[in-house]
Structure 1
Amino acid sequence: MEETTGPAAGEPEVTQRVEGGVARLSLAGELTETARRPLVRVVTELLLHQPAPTRVELDVSATTFMNSAGTAVLVQLQRLTAPRGIDVVLVHPTPAVVRPLQLSGLWHRFPIEGAATGS
């Protein structure tokens, strides 16, 4: 099943697909405060489904910018899923995502796929 959350004014586009217990989300646009609503909405809906996914993969390869509010959104997603033992995995993070995570010390908090390991 694939769904796209149409962006409201200024919101980035979030696409989701669930396959074999893995929820694959894609974020196109900026990862800022405006991304909070669509991402939290999608993850909350996924957690309410039975069975809930065992893993959430967030493809951020089309993310062009992330600020501290975007970092807070990622931490919030992790806090939503952690009590259920679900990892939020960042897939193909761009330098716009990697650098703020490295500078904030959160780089090692998230499983990463498709990128060189950070320092």
Structure 2
Amino acid sequence: MSDKGRGIRSLTLFLAAAAGFSNANIYYNQPLLGHMAHSYGESVNSVSFIPAATQLGFALGLVLLVPLGDTLDRRKLIRAGSRSRRSLVFTLSLGWKARIITGFPDNTASC
């Protein structure tokens, strides 16, 4: 086997592992729901929206974003996605100010 064949094979293996870890990531929080509910003083039923929200977001990403890769320039799409994630991370890094900007409630003050 040539060096190019080994490189393609290792790249394929790497991308398959990355896709597997990415897909498994949406299920990691399910065994922890009891601990999260106890930590926040909530019932398990009230925190059960977390896995549903992650799975819904994953499904919406597949339905809405994957077809864009076929119709739009992929480089522009990757840049736009990177910019939006960067701005979201920056917004959430503001801490207590993030609840004003994003509208998410800040539950840390009640702990």
Q: TM-score range by the shorter chain?
A: under 0.3
**Bigger strand share:** 1
TM-score normalized with structure 1 length: 0.20
Q: Which has the higher helix share?
A: 2
The one of the two structures with greater contact order (alpha-carbon pairs below 8 A, sep at least 6) is: 1
Structure label with greater radius of gyration? 2
